[in-house]
Amino acid sequence: MFSSVTMMSMMLMIIGAMLIVGGALALWRFASLHAKGTPVIARRLPAGDGSHWRHGVMVYSESTLKMYKLRSLRPGCDAEFARHDVTIVDRRNPTDIEAGFFAPGLRVVRIKSGKNTEWEFAVDSSSDTALVAWVESKPSSRQTREFPTDIERRFRSAYNRGRGSQY
């Protein structure tokens, strides 16, 4: 059979291959996400002062905000926020502990999602503006959906007004 040295070397080769694959996946995730969205340092609340912060990227779409942690091997996003559920609660300056590892100029924005989940994002001023614009430009929950017949009627009315005739 196999000697213990051969078994040990096979195990080391398997472990080495797994480390190489894991490292390649982590490098791919970091490189692909870093250029894809807005950089952020995020944490889920409640959390102690200066703890649980993770570097990541926020990717905006029409209806969702996806947050990807840079040091995660998860194939999908690590947190997802529906646009109609997100509310900006407040902003604050970093604490003394947080200022020790945050880049200068970052401020902390606390958001609440519809599931009563709160997160804090440490962002620069342009990322803060982007987040506010994304949240505030969501359609009102009171907005009613228009039926295709109403759209057609409005189009014909506007078209006929332009021609100077009555419909």
* pLDDT value at residue 143: 56
* pLDDT value at residue 167: 45
Q: Which helix (H) or strand (E) holds 97?
A: helix 96-99
* pLDDT value at residue 51: 84
* pLDDT value at residue 47: 85
What's the burial of 39, exposed, middle or buried (CB within 10 Å: 0-12/13-18/19+)?
Answer: middle
* pLDDT value at residue 142: 55
Which amino acid is residue 166, in one-letter code?
Answer: Q
Longest dimension (CA), the chain: 97
Query: Domain segments of the chain: what residues?
Result: 36-145
Assigned CATH topology for domain 36-145: PH-domain like (2.30.29)
Q: Are 150 and 158 in contact (CB under 8 A)?
A: no
List of the chain residues with pLDDT < 50: 144, 166-167
CA-nearest of 37, 58, 65 to 122 is 58
Q: What pTM, to 2 d.p., does this model score? A: 0.66
